[in-house]
Amino acid sequence: MPLPIRTLTDLGDVVRSARRGQGLKATQIAVQSGRSRDLLHRLETGGDVTTGALLDVLRSMGYTLRLEPLGLPTLEEVRQRFAEDDED
pTM above 0.85, yes or no: no
Q: Are 53 and 12 in contact (CB under 8 A)?
A: no
Residues ≥6 apart with Cβ < 8 Å to 14? 2, 5
CATH of 8-87, one of 1.10.10.10, 3.40.50.970, 3.40.50.2000, 1.10.260.40: 1.10.260.40
28-76 per-position pLDDT tens digit: 999 999 999 999 999 999 999 999 999 999 999 999 998 888 778 778 8
